[in-house]
Structure 1
Amino acid sequence: MILFSIIVPVYNAEKYIENTLHSVINQDESNFEVIAVNDGSTDNSLKIIKKIARNDGRIKVYSQKNKGVSYARNLGLDKAKGRYILFLDSDDELPPHTLSSYYRIFQMENADIIEGNIHISEKQDKYRNKIKVFNHDKAIKYFLNCKTISGYAGGKAYNKNILKNIRFISSISYGEDGIFFLETLLKSHKLVHASFACYKYTIRLNSLSGRGQDYNSHNLEVFKQSENIQASVPQKFKKYNKVFIFELYKSEIEKFADSTPKTQKEYYRSYKRLKSFCDKNVIGVLFTTFNLRVRKDAIGYLIWRINGKNKL
């Protein structure tokens, strides 16, 4: 049986995709498949993938018309045969010990989800055996309080069993991974956060995940994301909704503030909606969250609002 399925959505990544695939090929755990989904690339990405796949039967290549990252990942989920599932963007890489470290923890802890550290450093790699175990309730609380557990698709491995009937929302291409991750948390019994560096993250313009871009129409999907999160969270965790959404909206306000005057004028109504929520809920967030960093963010927001500065 295949141990790992690594799902790689690809869109115009000719500068990166070779390094991405070789970072998987060079893993010290060889029992895996790569499901590369070409999402209508107009550059040489597909040609590069097929060339590499001809020399390695573990790489499976699929193509679709340009539909977005959610469609691409869902196709990968439909095709996956591995016991464990990872998502890897086409401009990112896996450190060579990633799969073997995940497998060791799955065997030790019988976890549903394992989350590692995204940013690579010598300190993180040195303490790669350090883990924290979260039960169902604690994992949800920490996620909604933006503490330790993140909603990013990268840097995680899932037991395939908990992904049955869970898919990315196809109509959302910004913040879709947070919604997906919450759905997996709701079905999980145990999450393990491990300190080893498991993911090398690259910021570039025009990627499928929309990273590194100026504020634009994709950012408006943050409202869909917050609506889905609020609707999905069980009643006993509802009080933490405002914490999660405050952090989400505060980040969007910062992106708006860094945009050009023309962009700010175009999306001013969106900014007002973001700010209205944060203004209304900042005090509640301050006294609800157990995350000290979020408390500092709330205090910083209050100071920014009082002083009327441009930067948060």
Structure 2
Amino acid sequence: MIKISVIMPIYNDEENIIDSVSSVLNQSLTEIELICVDDGSTDNSLNLLNDFAEKDNRIRVFSQINQGSGKARNKGISEAKGEYIAFLDSDDQIVDNDALNQLYAEGKKNNLDMVSGGIQFVSKDKINYEFSCFKPITELKLRPVGDYCIPWYFYKNIFRRSLLIENNIRFPDLLRGQDPVFLVEILSHLDYFLEVPVLYYSYVTPEYNKIDNSLKYYDYFVHFYLVFKLLMADKKFNNIVLRYSERLIAMKNRAIYVNTEEELLKLLDIMDKIKSLYVTYGNVNLTNKITSSFEELISKIENSK
């Protein structure tokens, strides 16, 4: 029986694949599979993956034309056979060789759909164990789902595969912000998750702004709409709504990518939809903050023309 399917999307990452794949194969939990989905790489990534697969039958390699990491992960979900699913990007690594074993054991013992491990953040050879409200996990603790920090870093969790399959939970077709939408949809089906004090995931923080054009910029606002639509439907997420709203408000300080009148109209439309969510949500102070933030952003767009 396969206990955990680890899904890895790959695109032109030949420099990091060996370390990333090895961190999976070195796990003490051996009843695993590594599903590698090459997303149209033009370097040597696919060849390296096939070499790995020839040496270890736990590795399954799939290849597709370039469609983005979300669709690559969705392909992995559809092919997975494990009781639980984990995700690993090809430039990241699993830190503790016993991490998957501990996460699986606790999930199985407690009959849970989601189990969370610790995450570290790596940038320019510097390791930081605390980012925002993702602090190191120091004790085994069952937590209400509303205690999850903000809907980031889905990588630090493993998820019961049946939860994803039965509820048709997949990554949306967005250029940016896919991960939070995916994670919030999972959280919306849960009451609790378990934190396990094991350093599980090593996340390489990007050194550049991933939102670098108008299409990504628009999709990031769409992601906010989809996330808050789910969060605001259940009062147990009130704290996450408050925390993640700060991320939305901060968009007024980010670079602006609007090139045409048509793009501006699309942006204004999704902003109106977001504001409508806040009005229905009923927190007047928060609604006013969002409205003010959007007005400031629109003013910056108009002045940039």
Considering the TM-score relative to the shorter chain, is it more than 0.5?
yes
* Aligned residue in 2 for 1:172: 174
1:7-22 counterparts in 2 under 5 A?
7-22=7-22
* Aligned residue in 1 for 2:76: 76
SS of the equivalent of 1:198 reads: strand
1:186-197 counterparts in 2 under 5 A?
186-197=188-199
* Aligned residue in 1 for 2:40: 40
Q: Distance in 2 between matches of 1:132 and 1:285?
A: 31
1:142 matches 2:147 = yes
Alignment gaps of 5+ in structure 1: 206-210, 258-262, 289-297, 306-312
SS of the equivalent of 2:14 reads: coil
SS of the equivalent of 1:81 reads: coil
Q: Distance in 1 between matches of 2:71 and 2:129?
A: 36
Maintained 8 Å contact 2:86/2:159: yes
Question: Which one of 206, 216, 219 corresponds to residue 218 of structure 1?
Answer: 216
Q: Which amino acid letter does the alignment assign opposite residue 147 of structure 2?
A: Y
Maintained 8 Å contact 1:20/1:92: yes
Shift in alpha-carbon separation, 1:230–1:213, aligned structure 2, 3 A: closer
Q: Distance in 2 between matches of 1:171 and 1:274?
A: 16
Maintained 8 Å contact 2:14/2:45: yes
Q: Distance in 2 between matches of 1:44 and 1:117?
A: 32
Shift in alpha-carbon separation, 1:238–1:55, aligned structure 2, 3 A: closer
Deviation string, structure 1 residues 79-129 (Cα, Å, up to 9, x no partner): 0000010011111100122201202321343221012222167989xx866
1:183 matches 2:191 = no
Maintained 8 Å contact 1:35/1:80: yes
SS of the equivalent of 1:85 reads: strand
SS of the equivalent of 1:227 reads: helix
Q: Which amino acid letter does the alignment assign opposite residue 176 of structure 1?
A: Q
Q: Distance in 2 between matches of 1:150 and 1:232?
A: 12
Maintained 8 Å contact 1:134/1:190: yes
Q: Greater strand percent: which structure?
A: 2
Maintained 8 Å contact 1:74/1:167: no
Shift in alpha-carbon separation, 1:198–1:287, aligned structure 2, 3 A: farther
How large is the RMSD of aligned CA atoms in angstroms?
3.8
Maintained 8 Å contact 1:36/1:76: yes
1:45-56 counterparts in 2 under 5 A?
45-56=45-56
Maintained 8 Å contact 1:3/1:31: yes
Q: Distance in 2 between matches of 1:170 and 1:275?
A: 19
1:1-312 counterparts in 2 under 5 A?
1-95=1-95, 96-119=97-120, 130-135=139-144, 139=145, 141-143=146-148, 148=149, 150-164=151-165, 165-204=167-206, 212-213=209-210, 215-216=212-213, 217-233=215-231, 235-237=233-235, 240=238, 243-256=242-255
Q: Which amino acid letter does the alignment assign opposite residue 175 of structure 2?
A: S
State the identity %. 26
Q: How many equivalent pairs are there?
A: 275
Question: 1:275 Cα deviation (Å)?
Answer: 10
SS of the equivalent of 2:201 reads: coil
Shift in alpha-carbon separation, 1:17–1:266, aligned structure 2, 3 A: farther
Q: Distance in 2 between matches of 1:238 and 1:47?
A: 47
Deviation string, structure 1 residues 232-263 (Cα, Å, up to 9, x no partner): 23644298375255223244344428xxxxx6
Deviation string, structure 1 residues 136-187 (Cα, Å, up to 9, x no partner): xxx1x334xxxx3543231110111211233334421311111111111122
* Aligned residue in 2 for 1:292: none
Shift in alpha-carbon separation, 1:195–1:170, aligned structure 2, 3 A: same
Q: Distance in 1 between matches of 2:244 and 2:206?
A: 25
Shift in alpha-carbon separation, 1:274–1:193, aligned structure 2, 3 A: farther
Question: 1:194 Cα deviation (Å)?
Answer: 2.8
Q: Which amino acid letter does the alignment assign opposite residue 196 of structure 2?
A: A
Question: 1:14 Cα deviation (Å)?
Answer: 0.9
Maintained 8 Å contact 2:6/2:85: yes
